[in-house]
Amino acid sequence: MAGGQQPTDRAGAFAEPWRDPHQTPLIRIERLTKTFGDFYAVDDVSLDIYRGEFFSLLGGSGCGKTTLLRLMAGFEMPTEGRISIDGVDLAGVPPHRRPVNMMFQSYALFPHMSVARNVAFGLRQEGLPSAEIRSRVADALELVKLDRLAKRKPHQLSGGQRQRVALARCLVKRPKVLLLDEPLAALDRKLREETQFELVNIQEQLGMTFVIVTHDQGEAMAMSTRVGVMDEGRIVQIGTPNEVYEYPTSRFVAGFIGSINMFDGVLAESAPDHALVEGVGEPVRFHIDHGIAAPASATVTVAIRPEKMRLSKTLPEGFTEDSPNLLRGTVDEIAYLGGQSIYVVVLESGRMVRVSVPNTHRMTELPITWEDPVYVSWPAFAGVVLVD
């Protein structure tokens, strides 16, 4: 077990092969397109995934993430482009000859076979000696802690147990790549969190490459080495969970992952070490601590995470009334979430800003409450400038 720690960003512990130009990827997807009629389910996707990665395809429903996974498994044939694994082009290779295995969202367990028979199914297809099949099935069931339920039929298992059988059935084949289609979607919240850690542990223990499809950004952030965010058939950003969260490259990614405040602005000044953005529709200037690669007076969006903002009743230290990175408003809503509170501040222009405040002190009365006039401020590193 991970000892109950929050695996916030696994990339740190991982050798980050995507940054090394000498590494060859395990899976190479080149200009892949899949159309159904005139609908582009996957639209010109190129993607490299490296050995030992836990790669998440993240997006809303209908964004093409499952189609991309099914293209890798061979259940769909690409309209254009190609997929190769370990240097072997998979064009025309039927699903049963591919070195990948898929865990289905519905689990797709064979209802007429016991747990052990389900897990043994893939090994029987390889024609292995029965003694080897038996020991490998036993190992796989032990790994997912189901060794005592080997004789049960799928309908006699709980949802969580079925999920483990489905996992064991794939793992036992020792595929080069394991594809997981929404593996946790059918579990309840608590079980889902536990299973996240277990999946990560199993993946690290076996050193396998996992490609997972999910619509749940928390899940993707917690488990992945890298995340590919998809929208309308395209991959809009690829990066470590940390990169996609802190350095989104588009309004879509910024808005899709976590919550964020976005302001329209015009680039007023750009130097190598800082930039100034004049707010549009809001009496505010944004001071950014790095340069922006855009022409002066370009329209931009400044995005700021709620937890990077500070809330105070008085002018914060080091600020004057006309400092940049400062807004005035009144508290409209407070959502107390235990570990933190979310404040919704309504500005003079009428727009809302979300600020999250960690509840570091134990208190029964909030120092800032409804209808209080407040200042919202943020440091120069907080703003992300998006040039669309």
Partner 1 sequence: MAESSTHPNGIVRHRPARWPRRARMLVVSVPYLWLLVFFAVPFLIVLKISLSEPQFAQPPYAPLIEWGDDLALDIRLNLANYALLAEDRLYLVAYLNSIKIAFFSTLICLAIGYPMAYAIARANPAWRTGLLMLIILPFWTSFLIRVYAWIGILRDNGVINNLLISFGIIDQPLQMLQTDFAVYLGITYSYLPFMILPLFATLQRLDDSLLEAAADLGCPPWRTFLTVTLPLSVPGIVAGSLLVFIPAVGEFVIPALLGGPDTVMIGRVLWDEFFTNRDWPVASAVALVMALLLVLPIMLIQWLYSREQAREA
Closest alpha carbon to 365 in 336, 330, 328: 336
Per-residue b or e along 208-227, where b marks 16 or more CB atoms closer than 10 Å to that residue's CB: bbbbbbbbebebbbbbbbbb
How far apart CA 145 and CA 142 sit, in angstroms, is: 5
Give the residue, chosen from 169, 192, 305, 354, that forms a contact with partner 1 under the rule CB under 8 A: 169
Per CB under 8 A, 159 contacts partner 1:
no
Return the number of the residue (71 or 326) whose C-beta is nearest partner 1. Answer: 71
**CB-nearer residue toward partner 1: 102 or 254:** 102
Closest distance of CB 274 from partner 1, Å: 53
Residues 22-81 that bind partner 1 (CB under 8 A): 73-75
**Cβ-based nearer residue to partner 1, 172 or 309:** 172
Residue pair 168/143 in contact by the 8 Å Cβ criterion: yes
Whichever of 120 and 260 has its CB closer to partner 1, that residue is 120
User: What does the alpha-carbon distance between residue 40 and residue 22 come to, in Å, rounded to a whole number?
Assistant: 33
Residue 26's alpha-carbon distances to 23, 169, 333, in angstroms, are 9, 22, 49
Residue 264 CB, nearest approach to partner 1 (Å): 45
158 lies in the binding site for partner 1 (CB under 8 A): no
Q: Does 185 bind partner 1 (CB under 8 A)?
A: no
Residue 252 CA: distances (Å) to CA of 107, 182, 282: 31, 21, 22
Q: Which of residues 117-136 bind partner 1 (CB under 8 A)?
A: 121-122, 125-126
Structure tokens at 36: 């159904």
Return the number of the residue (185 or 315) whose C-beta is nearest partner 1. Answer: 185
Q: Does 366 bind partner 1 (CB under 8 A)?
A: no
The secondary structure element, H or E, covering residue 166 is: helix 159-171
Residue in the block written with tokens 């400062």: 326
Q: Report phi then psi at 332, rounded to 5.
A: -105, -40
Sites for partner 1 among residues 8-27 (CB under 8 A)? none
Residue 106 is a binding residue for partner 1 (CB under 8 A):
yes
Closer to partner 1 at the Cβ: 108 or 344? 108
Query: Could you list the residues that contact partner 1 (CB under 8 A)?
Result: 73-75, 94-98, 100-102, 104, 106, 108-112, 121-122, 125-126, 153, 156, 169, 173
